[in-house]
Structures are given as C-alpha cells and as structure tokens.
Chain A
C-alpha cells in the first residue's frame, strides 16, 4: 500500500492504480471523455488533467499511475480553467444539432458542457466538417459524421478490440484529422462487419446507425400501407432505463403512432429454434448466427467456417415471412401493402434485410429495421407520450398472449449455462478473438450459439449512459444478461398446442425454402 494526497486528503491506495481510479473510489469527480477502461486508454482528450506537485505541466488522471507520497490537486483554479478551455475548444469545432441528434440528449459531450457551464465562444470559427461534406454513408447500417466527432479514439480502439481488425482509423493530420474507414474506403468495402460496437462507445453521435425514422414516419403518415411492427423484447429495458416512468404499454404506444399491429419476436424465435434443431440433428455442427455481423465476419475473414453456418434465417426475418404470408391473409390484408418494421438492438440487421437472400419474389421479409433509440425518436417525433399512458387496454391485445405460448417452448429448446452465477440462455459466449480455436474445441458438442462477447451490452441500440462506463463496467454487463433472462421465463404451456401452431404456420408458406439462406452462394458472388 502507498499513500497519496488527493486534494488535501490522505488516501491509501494499492500499487499500479491510476489517479482516476483512486478519485473514483473516494468519490472525487474527474471529468473524462476519451477514456474507456480496458478499451481506450490513449489519454488524448486532456479532459482529466490534474496537477501533481513537483511535476511540470498537467498530467492526465486516466493514465497516470500513483506513486508514493504523490500530492495531487484536481480542483484548483488552473485545472478548472484548463478543462473549461479545452471544452470551449472542442465545442468550437462541434456541429451542434442536438434537436435532431440520434443521442436524444443522452450525450457525454452535452453533459460535460452543461456541467462546466461552457460558453460557446468560438462558434464564429465555423467547423469545416459540416454536413453533407462530413457524412460518410456508404452502407445500410453505419454512418460517420465527422462534424460531430471529438476525435477521442474510442471507436478505433473498440473496433480493434472486438474484431481484432483495424476497420476504422484516423486520417490526415492537424486540423484536418478525421475518423473514417481505413484507407478512405467506403464502409461497405472496409471490412466492417456492422457489429455496432463503435456506435455503442462513441461519446457523441459521430458514428451512428443509419436513420430510417423518416421513411417509416412517412409511410405511417402519408400512405395507405399497413405497417406491422415487431420488436425485440429487450426494448422494454431500454425504455425503462432511458425514460422515467415508462408505462410498459408498448402495444398502446405503437397503436398511437399508427402501427396496425405489434408483436414481440417469440414466433420467429420459436420457428428459428425448431428449424435449427432439425439442422443440428442432421449436420451435427452448426454455427447459429442470429446477429448478422457474425455472418459478415465469417464471409469476410473466415471463409472456411462458412460451411458450418446455419442456413436458417434469423428470428425477425422468419417472423417477417410469417407475418406477410400467413398473418396478413388471416386479417384479410394484402401482403404487398404490408410493411414490416423490426425494432432491434443490432445495427447489422439493417444491412441484413437489404440482402437478396431476404427477398421472396420481390417481397422483402422485413422492410425496415429501427434501433431502440430510433424508435424512441419516432415516438417523440409524433408526440406520443412515452411516459404516461392509460394501459387499461393492454390485456385486450390478444396477440401478446398468443405469442407468449410459443416463447416457453423456445426456452425449453435451449441449453442454459451458468456464467458468473447467472443463468444464460446460450450455449457458449465466444470471444471473437479466440473464435476459431474455441470453435475447434467445442466442435464435438454439435451446437454453437455464437455471440460477440459484448453484444448483449448492445441491447440499448447504441445508446449508453455515462454511468455504464464507470469502472464497474463489467457489472453492468452481467446485470443486463440477467435482465434478459428474467424476461424469457414465463408460465407453463402444453407443448402440443405449440406444435399445432407451428405446423399451421409452415403450411401457409408458398415454399419452405424461403426460410433458409445459403451464404456459401454469397461467398462466390463476393469473389466475383
């Protein structure tokens, strides 16, 4: 143990702790912007500067290791001025569009500017990176906007840590420095797998999901199309976390904005598991990839494993097929006039639905994908009150119960494992870095549910709070998994009932092949 003097208080600290860690432990606030523990420790934003006695200049608290008898000052006038100056400079280069920004006000930069009461005094020096020059929108999933970028390096480190590839990088130098896909490539050519982790970690909105809110709104308001929405159940935790007093009456909210029907994804998930089961029995070894970024990863970096990839489509696209082919008919709707919108946490799905494999006789399985925060935006755009809603009607919405039944079956089909004391409904959580090796080892088990190690964290669709990234980051992560699990547990139902429903669904399809994709084919296409 060594002793450090922090703002006049003696603190006992362990060796190799940073000043930031010590300050966090005793509850002293030090602002940070670029720092993400274990991910980005480049100390380049200079927000966390502190004064150390006997040391010339200021030092970054996030990277400076405490030494014995160090005397640290975090709140002197000169430090406060340095932080303010820095924020004024950063603000002077930022394109403020908070009213139409995907952050929905939950923004790390905005929080800092508020906290330090920053004057926007350099606003007259216009930022040269303003839209549309700054926006790179070369794919269906991810958009770069350097007008918002604070050049914190988080996305680059994140990309490197998740995929072990360097898809994003700094370009140019000095005032022209800008973050883009490597070698000035378009996003779709850069080797990006659309996992979305960079979006998750960006403190502002310089990397975001591509925006589909306007198109969906337009369809809702200006056309005769019938819109059906299907949502990942984790949206509830997202709304609970972002919106105080969230009413839990999602179906009501959807109705209010003009969706004709709303479902969760249990039908798709059940069918997915049925089909996957068949596949496992037949092929013994299957990589299940509901998250499309895994398909991308294999296609780009791991060709030889493609043959193990499950050919069953992902739950939301499967359910999309059923909604158009079966449910529509039941309701007397025309499939061509029906638009299916999925509400999902992963941006990769935006690219997924545009692929030709998800198209049957020019009828798309799913027409639009919105992330969770895009949905919140949609609600706010039309003035739907997310907070207070009369939810007496809720029980009447028959489709919720109808779908819940199948959900139980889903659970029984899955093997559960215990991770850090929590039951989790996946067989393995595999880190992308050790993916190939792990895969070889567990080959004999026959069934691999492959997940990016932190894709659970992504349930909020690119949105996170400053709090989630304090030093307890890992705890938040495991808590989220636990939450997801709770939801899946439900009352008991007769299995025979579900089988009946399932058979009925299958019989309604024009062709059974539309439930499958073949990415082997895609690989050859790519090669051309």
Chain B
C-alpha cells in the first residue's frame, strides 16, 4: 500500500460524496469527534477519504519510535481513561525494556455508569481507534494488539470486527503492514461484565483467561504485563487522540487546553439540565460555563445544587468551586478527579447522601474481592450510611465514615478500592450539613425515609 493508493481511494470517494460538519454546540471544537455521525463506520473508504490511515502511514514511513513518542510528549496528551497519566511518558517506558514479545491493548471496557464516549467512538469511528492502536504498537514495538470490549457493547463488537477485517484486507494489519516490513495484528476480547476488568491489570488477567482481579503493582505492565510480557494499555479516547496528533502535529492539539491539561476532551453531561449530551471542548472550561452555558442550565423551576464530576471515582463539586476550570488539576482544589469526563448535574430533587450510598453499593458489587480494605471496608461503610439514611445514625458515625474512607483509600490494592470512597469523602467535605440533617431525621430532597417513627 502506497501513498498513491491511499490518495486514489480518497479521491474516488470525494468525487461522489461531500462530508458535512456536525456539532452539538457552536462552541465545540471537534478534533476527536470529527468523523462521528459524518462517515459510515462500516466503510473504510469513507474513513480514508477523511485522511484516514495517513497518520499510521506517516508513523511507519517518516517517523520512528523515538520521534512518535516525542511528538506525543510534545502534544501534552494525558490518558483519557481518568488516570490522566501522560501518554508519551507511558510509551517511553517501553523503550528501555527488552523482550521477545510486547503487547498493546485498547481498553474499551468503559464501565463507569453514565459514561458513553468510548462507545460512541467505537461505534461511529472505529478506524480512528484501530489506527491509533497501530501507531501505539509502532511506538511500543508491539506486534500484537488486543481490543478488550465490554460485553454489553454489541454494536461496537461488530464495528470493530468489521474495521479490523477491512484494515487487514487492505494490508494495514497482518504481516508486513503498509508494505513497510512491520508486523502487527489485532485480536478482540469480550469482557464478561465486570467494572474492575477495566483496571489494566485485571483486564490482563481476564485476557489471560483468569478471574478478573487486579494484580499488585509493581511490577508495572510496562515491565511485566499480559502473559508476563511488557504491555501498554490505553483508553479508546486516548488512542483516537493519538491518531489526530500524529496526523496534524502536536501543535494542532496542544494549542487548546491549560498548562497541565492540553487538548480537547469529550465531556458527557447527564442529569438535571436542559441540554444534556456530549460535547468536545477544550480542557479548562469552567463548570459554570459548561452547565449554564452549553447545557443551558437547570430544568424549569429547579435549581442546581451540586455537580458530580468523574462518576463513581469522582466527587461532588459545590457551588463555590464552579468557576474553577475542568482539568486534571481539579483534584488539588476539590479532591475530585475529572475521570473520563462524565458529569452528572444534580438539583434539589436528588439526595446526595442517597447517591453516595448508591456509589458505595456499586463499588462493593464491582469489587473483585481480592484485598480486605475494599472488600470489607466498603461493606462497613454501607452499613453505617444505611443506618444514617434510615434515621438511625449517631453523630460519631460521620467521623467513623471519614476514617473508614481514608483507610480504604490509602490501603487498597487497586484503583477501584482507592476511588470508591471519593464521592462519599467529597460529599462529607462539601455537604456535611446534609448528613447532619439526616441524623436529625430530615432529608431535604424527600428521598430518604429517615423520619423519626420509621422502623
């Protein structure tokens, strides 16, 4: 496959079809979402017509491992899964590790309730991810890649499968890809419906056919990962961004965003606003602008009381901090992680204490059961919080909840245990008065049955 051939396909498609531009809001900047709802996801030709596979071609012919990693570093891209680890640095670990086989995995296990951006990309622009995986493979010197897709994403299995098949047919995957002497192929693995299998080490256990439980780190996957070999795990959105960065250069990406958080991010907003949905915006936009500007504020007659950023691994942000920018430094202000970009807007009809309980129950349900702080601690938190919600709480319970949360946070083996307490901790920090009201048998939102004569 030569450049001419790629151009040939492109021109033949462009001759018959004009691609429109789509945006959900005028303020959006669509870098990553450019092809979404624009091209036919089943057509590799239409993807090529939009400069598809040019980046992978460029990576193979004009660049080498070092220069790809350098470009990604320059772009300032940080992992879009929530961990926000700089992708360039992650990839550079593999430079110094010697092994006969290396792997790269695309983490498409999107398990966070309320998040759906990975799904949109998988279903509507599959080739961008496949291409990102090819570039990642070159940078990490991997000859084998995996897609780990969550079970429920049936449509995504199909689009990705078709995309891999089409790419293989055109010689973008398999032996000697793009006729450049490099071998790389991709296999799909379907999860079995477990949130923790999105955690990279549990994901690798799952691919190996074992029970999906997290492994202790170190050794880090970059040293000993899948089947004991060095492995790089990246999120769907990260890989889609990589494709765009290599195609258009680091500057096209890092001109957006803030000092420590470069580029655009896709925010998915749900809950009590007029215009929920997903929007690709530069990192650093304020919560207020997002909620009141782009999402057009609260539902008629209601007031927004809080915003939950980052889902079950994030936290509640109180009104005084709504002017702070949404970026990866949010943690330092509010102990909240931006996570994968999921934002839930809460108004007075929702009880935050009750929501905390829901997240804890989610955490316990999804805990792999391996380490004791997460397995036992979350259970105890739930017991205490339940008694508060049922109006049987005692004042010292709040202190106990805080202590338990801190303990679980610092002692757990993997990110799941470390993060399940975040919503509760942030709620205790920002909305302690709500908990105290519950102790006094009152629930503002009228959700909890904490009345005095409730048995």
Contact = CB atoms under 8 A, between A and B. Distances in A.
Asked if A and B bind, the verdict is: yes
Interface of A: 42-46, 49, 57-58, 60, 63-65, 78, 81-82, 85-86, 89-90, 92-93, 122, 125, 150-151, 153, 169-170, 172-177
A322 B6 CA distance: 89
18 contacts: A44-B413, A46-B411, A46-B413, A49-B410, A58-B411, A82-B410, A86-B407, A89-B377, A90-B372, A93-B376, A125-B379, A125-B380, A169-B211, A170-B213, A174-B366, A174-B369, A177-B370, A177-B375
Contacts of A63: 216, 218
A43 B377 CA distance: 17
B410 to A, nearest CB: 5
Contacts of A85: 373, 377, 403-404, 407, 411
A52 B316 CA distance: 30
B407 A82 contact: yes
A252 B368 CA distance: 53
Interface in B42-76: none
Contacts of B379: 125, 175
A169 B369 CA distance: 12
A9 B174 CA distance: 56
A150 B194 CA distance: 23
Given A63-B216, A92-B380, A44 B410 contact: no
Interface in B398-431: 403-404, 407, 409-413, 418
A209 B372 CA distance: 26
Interface string B215-244: 110100000000000000000000000000
Indicate the size class of the contact surface on chain B.
20 to 34
B369 A86 contact: no
A173 B368 contact: yes
Given A57-B410, A85-B404, A175-B367, A43 B372 contact: no
Contact of A174 (B215, B218, B365, B383): B365
Given A43-B413, A49-B411, A82-B411, A89 B380 contact: yes
A174 B196 CA distance: 11
A175 B369 contact: yes
Contact of B371 (A45, A82, A92, A175): A45
B376 A57 contact: no
Given A57-B409, A173-B194, 20 more contacts: A44-B370, A46-B371, A46-B412, A46-B413, A58-B410, A78-B410, A81-B407, A82-B410, A82-B411, A85-B373, A85-B403, A86-B372, A89-B373, A90-B376, A153-B370, A169-B211, A173-B365, A174-B367, A175-B364, A175-B376
A42 B370 CA distance: 9
Contacts of B194: 173
A172 B369 contact: yes
B364 to A, nearest CB: 5
Interface in B93-146: none
Contacts of B409: 57
Nearest to A177: B369
A172 B372 CA distance: 15
Contacts of B410: 49, 57-58, 78, 82
Given A42-B216, A60-B216, A89 B369 contact: no
A90 B375 CA distance: 10
A176 B369 contact: yes
Q: Which 4 pairs from chain A and chain B are nearest by CB?
A: A177-B369, A89-B376, A85-B407, A174-B367
Contacts of B365: 173-174
Contacts of A60: 216
Nearest to B373: A46
Contacts of A58: 410-411
B375 A151 contact: yes
Contact of B380 (A42, A81, A122): A122
Contacts of B196: 173
A125 B211 contact: no
Interface string B351-379: 00000000000001111111111011111
Nearest to A85: B407
Nearest to A63: B216
Contacts of B404: 85
Nearest to A47: B372
Given A58-B410, A86-B407, A174-B364, A44 B371 contact: yes
A151 B365 CA distance: 17
Nearest to B215: A42
A289 B378 CA distance: 48
A346 B403 CA distance: 45
Contacts of A81: 407
Contacts of B407: 81-82, 85-86
B385 to A, nearest CB: 13
Contacts of B215: 42
A32 B48 CA distance: 57
A28 to B, nearest CB: 20
Given A44-B413, A82-B410, A125-B380, A150 B369 contact: no
